[in-house]
Amino acid sequence: MPEQGPRMNSFSLGELCWLFCCPPCPSRIAAKLAFLPPEPTYSIHTDPGGATSLHLTERADWQYSQRELDAVEVLVTRTSRGNRVGCMFVRCAPASRYTLLFSHGNAVDLGQMCSFYIGLGSRINCNVFSYDYSGYGVSTGKPSEKNLYADIEAAWQVLRNK
Protein backbone atom coordinates (compact mmCIF):
# COMPACT_ATOMS: atom_id res chain seq x y z
CA MET A 1 0.00 0.00 0.00
CA PRO A 2 1.48 3.43 -0.95
CA GLU A 3 2.42 5.81 1.82
CA GLN A 4 -0.04 8.73 2.14
CA GLY A 5 2.35 11.28 3.60
CA PRO A 6 1.80 13.58 6.57
CA ARG A 7 -1.81 14.26 7.59
CA MET A 8 -3.21 17.42 9.18
CA ASN A 9 -6.49 17.02 11.08
CA SER A 10 -7.41 14.04 8.87
CA PHE A 11 -6.48 15.80 5.59
CA SER A 12 -3.37 14.84 3.69
CA LEU A 13 -1.06 17.55 2.41
CA GLY A 14 -2.15 16.65 -1.13
CA GLU A 15 -5.83 17.02 -0.23
CA LEU A 16 -5.19 20.43 1.34
CA CYS A 17 -3.27 21.57 -1.76
CA TRP A 18 -6.11 20.41 -4.00
CA LEU A 19 -8.70 22.14 -1.81
CA PHE A 20 -6.99 25.53 -1.82
CA CYS A 21 -4.78 25.46 -4.89
CA CYS A 22 -6.83 23.80 -7.61
CA PRO A 23 -6.32 25.52 -9.98
CA PRO A 24 -3.00 26.65 -8.45
CA CYS A 25 -3.49 30.42 -8.69
CA PRO A 26 -2.68 32.67 -5.68
CA SER A 27 -5.49 35.12 -6.50
CA ARG A 28 -8.03 32.31 -6.59
CA ILE A 29 -6.81 31.03 -3.24
CA ALA A 30 -7.30 34.50 -1.75
CA ALA A 31 -10.74 34.80 -3.36
CA LYS A 32 -11.85 31.45 -1.91
CA LEU A 33 -10.76 32.46 1.58
CA ALA A 34 -11.31 36.21 1.67
CA PHE A 35 -14.52 37.09 -0.16
CA LEU A 36 -17.87 36.09 1.31
CA PRO A 37 -20.56 38.25 -0.33
CA PRO A 38 -23.96 38.10 1.41
CA GLU A 39 -27.35 38.00 -0.28
CA PRO A 40 -28.11 41.62 -1.31
CA THR A 41 -29.95 43.61 1.37
CA TYR A 42 -30.80 46.58 -0.82
CA SER A 43 -31.71 47.67 -4.32
CA ILE A 44 -31.39 50.94 -6.20
CA HIS A 45 -34.50 52.17 -8.00
CA THR A 46 -34.44 54.81 -10.71
CA ASP A 47 -37.54 56.93 -11.37
CA PRO A 48 -38.52 58.16 -14.87
CA GLY A 49 -36.72 61.47 -14.20
CA GLY A 50 -33.42 59.64 -13.53
CA ALA A 51 -33.36 60.15 -9.74
CA THR A 52 -32.21 57.12 -7.74
CA SER A 53 -33.48 55.91 -4.39
CA LEU A 54 -32.40 53.26 -1.92
CA HIS A 55 -34.74 50.40 -1.02
CA LEU A 56 -33.71 48.19 1.90
CA THR A 57 -34.82 44.64 2.69
CA GLU A 58 -35.71 43.57 6.22
CA ARG A 59 -32.29 41.99 6.60
CA ALA A 60 -30.68 45.43 6.32
CA ASP A 61 -31.78 46.17 9.92
CA TRP A 62 -32.56 49.89 9.36
CA GLN A 63 -32.56 51.79 12.69
CA TYR A 64 -33.63 55.29 11.65
CA SER A 65 -36.66 57.07 10.19
CA GLN A 66 -37.69 57.54 6.57
CA ARG A 67 -36.27 61.09 6.71
CA GLU A 68 -32.74 59.75 7.25
CA LEU A 69 -33.24 57.11 4.55
CA ASP A 70 -34.32 59.79 2.08
CA ALA A 71 -31.07 61.69 2.79
CA VAL A 72 -28.96 58.74 1.64
CA GLU A 73 -27.81 59.17 -1.97
CA VAL A 74 -27.08 56.09 -4.06
CA LEU A 75 -25.59 55.62 -7.50
CA VAL A 76 -23.87 53.04 -9.64
CA THR A 77 -20.53 53.65 -11.34
CA ARG A 78 -18.41 51.56 -13.69
CA THR A 79 -14.91 50.34 -12.84
CA SER A 80 -11.90 50.11 -15.14
CA ARG A 81 -12.52 46.34 -15.29
CA GLY A 82 -16.08 46.87 -16.59
CA ASN A 83 -18.02 46.03 -13.42
CA ARG A 84 -20.87 48.17 -12.13
CA VAL A 85 -20.34 49.13 -8.47
CA GLY A 86 -22.98 50.44 -6.08
CA CYS A 87 -22.02 53.59 -4.14
CA MET A 88 -23.64 55.39 -1.21
CA PHE A 89 -23.24 58.95 0.06
CA VAL A 90 -24.58 59.54 3.57
CA ARG A 91 -24.86 63.22 4.43
CA CYS A 92 -24.61 63.09 8.21
CA ALA A 93 -23.23 66.57 8.78
CA PRO A 94 -24.35 68.92 5.97
CA ALA A 95 -22.01 71.72 7.10
CA SER A 96 -19.01 69.40 7.37
CA ARG A 97 -15.90 70.01 5.28
CA TYR A 98 -14.95 66.33 5.45
CA THR A 99 -16.18 63.12 3.89
CA LEU A 100 -14.87 59.74 4.98
CA LEU A 101 -14.31 57.16 2.22
CA PHE A 102 -15.26 53.94 4.00
CA SER A 103 -14.42 50.42 2.79
CA HIS A 104 -16.73 48.07 4.69
CA GLY A 105 -15.71 44.69 6.03
CA ASN A 106 -16.28 41.29 4.51
CA ALA A 107 -19.64 39.46 4.42
CA VAL A 108 -21.74 42.68 4.50
CA ASP A 109 -23.07 45.05 1.87
CA LEU A 110 -24.11 48.72 1.82
CA GLY A 111 -27.64 47.92 2.97
CA GLN A 112 -26.35 46.33 6.16
CA MET A 113 -23.87 49.16 6.78
CA CYS A 114 -26.17 52.12 6.10
CA SER A 115 -27.37 52.56 9.71
CA PHE A 116 -23.80 52.31 10.95
CA TYR A 117 -22.70 55.06 8.54
CA ILE A 118 -25.32 57.46 9.88
CA GLY A 119 -24.22 56.81 13.46
CA LEU A 120 -20.52 57.07 12.62
CA GLY A 121 -20.84 60.27 10.61
CA SER A 122 -22.99 61.90 13.28
CA ARG A 123 -20.49 61.03 16.02
CA ILE A 124 -17.41 62.31 14.20
CA ASN A 125 -19.20 65.17 12.37
CA CYS A 126 -18.46 64.16 8.81
CA ASN A 127 -20.23 62.69 5.80
CA VAL A 128 -19.62 59.10 4.73
CA PHE A 129 -19.11 57.76 1.20
CA SER A 130 -18.94 54.00 0.71
CA TYR A 131 -19.14 51.45 -2.06
CA ASP A 132 -19.77 47.75 -2.51
CA TYR A 133 -17.15 45.41 -3.85
CA SER A 134 -17.69 43.59 -7.14
CA GLY A 135 -20.13 40.74 -6.48
CA TYR A 136 -21.59 42.40 -3.35
CA GLY A 137 -25.03 44.07 -3.14
CA VAL A 138 -26.05 45.50 -6.54
CA SER A 139 -22.46 45.40 -7.86
CA THR A 140 -21.74 43.14 -10.81
CA GLY A 141 -18.71 40.94 -11.39
CA LYS A 142 -16.95 38.47 -9.15
CA PRO A 143 -15.12 39.27 -5.93
CA SER A 144 -11.37 39.23 -6.51
CA GLU A 145 -8.27 41.14 -5.49
CA LYS A 146 -7.92 42.79 -8.92
CA ASN A 147 -11.58 43.82 -8.93
CA LEU A 148 -11.22 45.19 -5.39
CA TYR A 149 -8.49 47.60 -6.50
CA ALA A 150 -10.62 48.72 -9.47
CA ASP A 151 -13.65 49.14 -7.15
CA ILE A 152 -11.87 51.48 -4.73
CA GLU A 153 -10.37 53.49 -7.60
CA ALA A 154 -13.83 53.94 -9.16
CA ALA A 155 -15.30 54.95 -5.79
CA TRP A 156 -12.48 57.45 -5.23
CA GLN A 157 -13.08 59.01 -8.66
CA VAL A 158 -16.83 59.35 -8.00
CA LEU A 159 -16.17 60.96 -4.62
CA ARG A 160 -13.67 63.42 -6.07
CA ASN A 161 -15.62 64.33 -9.20
CA LYS A 162 -19.27 64.25 -8.15
- Condensed to tens digits (0 to 9), the pLDDT of residues 38-55 reads 999 999 999 999 999 999
Residue 14, in any domain of the structure:
no
pLDDT at 2 over 70: no
Reported as type and span, the H/E element at residue 18 is helix 13-21
Counted domains in the chain = 1
CATH number at residue 55: 3.40.50.1820
124 in any annotated domain: yes
pLDDT of 1 reads: 44
Of 65, 46, 35, 69, the C-alpha closest to 151 is 35
Of 119, 117, 91, 82, nearest to 103 by C-alpha is: 117
Contacts of 160 (CB under 8 A, 6+ apart): none
What global pTM score does this model have? Answer: 0.81
Mean pLDDT of 150-157: 98
Is 70 within the bounds of a domain?
yes
Residue 6 in any domain: the answer is: no
In a domain, 116, yes or no: yes
pLDDT of residue 23: 55
In this structure, is residue 107 part of a structural domain? yes
Tell me the pairing of strands 127-131 and 84-90.
Answer: antiparallel
Q: What is the dihedral of CA 93, 56, 80, 126, to 10 degrees?
A: 10
The DSSP 8-state label assigned to residue 156 in this structure reads H
98 assigned to some structural domain: yes
Question: Is pLDDT above 90 for 24?
Answer: no
User: Is there a domain that residue 68 lies in?
Assistant: yes
Average pLDDT value over all residues in the chain: 88
Of 28-42, 95-109, 114-128, 134-148, the poorest mean pLDDT is in 28-42
- In which domain, by residue range, is 46 found? 38-161
